[in-house]
Amino acid sequence: MTAPRLEIVYRRLLRCYPPRWQQQHADEVVATLLDVADAEGRTRPSPGEAANLLAHGLAARFGASLGLLPETVRNRVAALAFASVATLSCTLFVVAEVLPGPLPVDRGYRRDGSGLSFGPFVTMGAALYPLPVLAFVAAAAKARRVARAMLGLTCLAVLTILVVPLATPSMDAERPQLYLLVVLGLLAVLAAGGYSAGVSRRDLFGAVALHGLLLAGATALSVSLFRRAHPGAHWNWPLHAYRGYGGLLDTVEMIVPAVVAVGALLATAASVRRPGWIVAVFAISGIWSLLPIADSIRYGRWSWENTYAGLGFLFVFGLIALAAVVDLFRAAGLKVVRTSDLPHNTSGSPARAEPNTFTTRSTLPGPPPAP
Amino acid sequence: MGIEDIREPTFLVLAALADGAKHGYAVIREVKAISDSRVTLRAGTLYAALGRLADQGLVRQSGEEVVDGRLRRYYDLTDAGVEVLAAQAARLRQNAAEADRRLRTRARPVQAPA
């Protein structure tokens, strides 16, 4: 590989970095990389060098993206994501994995007849769900590093459960639905990426309490709906919480749109004095909303009623998105002023706009020009 | 930046710039020499560290030139960078002296007679 060719390869690797960083540093970094390659007698990038550039480039991109969000907003998104993944995992562990007993043999759901495919548990989810719960316990005990590590492990566990069945198709153990794992994974990534000392414990505990209330209500509703439809039948057999009509997940999916609307109203009230909550609710409720949508598509339940209900929900979600944009501006301390409103200094030249101010030209008629 | 936060590669980058401004490849060479070839910085790590140190006001760009068609941008310590490096060096010296003192006072095991 000739030197110009090597330079091209290095420049391709540097595309992992944000465009602004590339404009400022690409030339000097390429020069350094070529100097190192010359000194080591290499004509192509070493695998370690390529991996190093890839990792730092992606980290710079992620950091640049995160940097666009004010810290308060990041902390609130992290608090809600953390509370969501911890409470949803805790509820699923108890209701969907621990409570269901083995099926009677004559029901013959599986070859062994028990319906328990992962040891004494229903699915491989039993290995995943305790991790975010332990992360919350660590956060409550002020062990932030342990909490972050457990959240990171949660992301890894989600990935493992997604990949392992693909690698070993003959494996007998069930896994939770793909879309449920994706939702848990997204929440865990947001929580792990944003959890820091800036996340207030009061916010985290409050969010956990609200989520706990919501999921306890969903569980009670699930029991009530099932008992009404099947009086005397056992409510929670294996996999019913995941896939059954009126099961836990089905009930959660049913109430998500209403909860999103109520959550947005609560966030609007909270954001008056503490901006950033509407953005957080918008981000997290968007992830929760994937549950009913993916479920309808996965199990072919989408019909014309869903289209109407979906359009209504889309309208409400659009309003929340608009409110989130305004909230984001407020959290960032940005405000829009008209040039006609700017104060003028004594020399007659317009005063400079304050930092963090968007300036627009007024379309209102101004005072008549001086003669 | 508190001196407690400095990790070894960052300390070595500051140490490499202690005797004057250097460009990226020269810093990589100096770090290798200072650490007796134990630490070899890769370019991605070096420029991430330089960016972080510049944001913290410990390092600044001090000029650039083009040599054989390659851009050399020079970096130098700021006054704050000199102070932080000196404080960190003093701390490491103090820790090393204390470790030496304790090793000298360590009771030697009694050798059994042949």
Cβ atoms of A252 and A278 within 8 Å: the answer is: no
Within this chain, do residues A206 and A248 fall inside the same structural domain, yes or no?
A: yes
Q: What is the mean pLDDT of chain A?
A: 81
Within this chain, do residues A213 and A197 fall inside the same structural domain, yes or no?
A: yes
Within this chain, do residues A23 and A170 fall inside the same structural domain, yes or no?
A: no
Selected residue of A11, A13, A15, A36 to mutate for chain B interface (largest B Cβ count, 10 A): A36
What's the domain range around A371? Answer: 334-371
Torsion of CA B66, B57, B37, A3, to 10 degrees: -30
Query: Any idea what the Cα angle at residue B10 is, between residues B9 and B15, rounded to 5°?
Result: 95
Within this chain, do residues A130 and A251 fall inside the same structural domain, yes or no?
A: yes
Joined tokens for residue A222: 């699930």
pLDDT digits (tens, 9 = 90+) for A265-310: 888 888 888 888 998 999 999 999 888 888 877 776 667 777 777 7
Within this chain, do residues A286 and A347 fall inside the same structural domain, yes or no?
A: no
Within this chain, do residues A120 and A201 fall inside the same structural domain, yes or no?
A: yes
Within this chain, do residues A286 and A159 fall inside the same structural domain, yes or no?
A: yes
Within this chain, do residues A297 and A254 fall inside the same structural domain, yes or no?
A: yes
Chain A residues at the B interface, defined by Cβ less than 8 Å, are 25, 27-36, 39, 48-49, 52-53, 55-57, 59-60
pLDDT digits (tens, 9 = 90+) for A202-238: 999 999 999 999 999 999 998 888 888 877 777 777 8
Within this chain, do residues A263 and A351 fall inside the same structural domain, yes or no?
A: no
Q: What is the mean pLDDT of residues B20-35?
A: 94
Is a pLDDT exceeding 70 seen at residue A368? no
Angstroms from B97 CA to nearest CA on chain A = 31
Q: What is the mean pLDDT of chain B?
A: 88
Within this chain, do residues A177 and A193 fall inside the same structural domain, yes or no?
A: yes
Q: How many domains does chain A have?
A: 3
User: Least CA distance to A17: which residue of chain B?
Assistant: B44
Joined tokens for residue A53: 């550039």
Cβ atoms of A6 and A46 within 8 Å: the answer is: no
pLDDT digits (tens, 9 = 90+) for B45-95: 999 999 989 988 999 999 889 988 899 999 999 999 999 999 999 999 999
Grade residue B113 by pLDDT with cuts at 50, 70 and 90: low
Angstroms from B49 CA to nearest CA on chain A = 10
Residue ranges with strand state E in chain A: 335-338, 357-360
Q: What is the pLDDT of residue B8?
A: 86
- Please report the number of interchain residue pairs, chain A to chain B, with beta-carbon separation below 8 angstroms: 52
- Across A40-44, A331-335, A351-355, which has the greatest mean pLDDT? A40-44
The span from the CA of A277 to the CA of A287, in Å, is: 16
Is a pLDDT exceeding 60 seen at residue B1? no
Within this chain, do residues A158 and A249 fall inside the same structural domain, yes or no?
A: yes
User: Least CA distance to A33: which residue of chain B?
Assistant: B43
* Residue ending a domain, choose from A65, A80, A97: A65
Within this chain, do residues A216 and A338 fall inside the same structural domain, yes or no?
A: no
Pairwise CB contact (< 8 Å): A25 & B47: yes
Lowest mean pLDDT among A54-68, A130-144, A346-360, B85-99: A346-360
pLDDT top residue among A10 and B114: A10
Cβ atoms of A250 and A126 within 8 Å: the answer is: no
What percentage of residues in chain B have a pLDDT greater than 90? Answer: 68
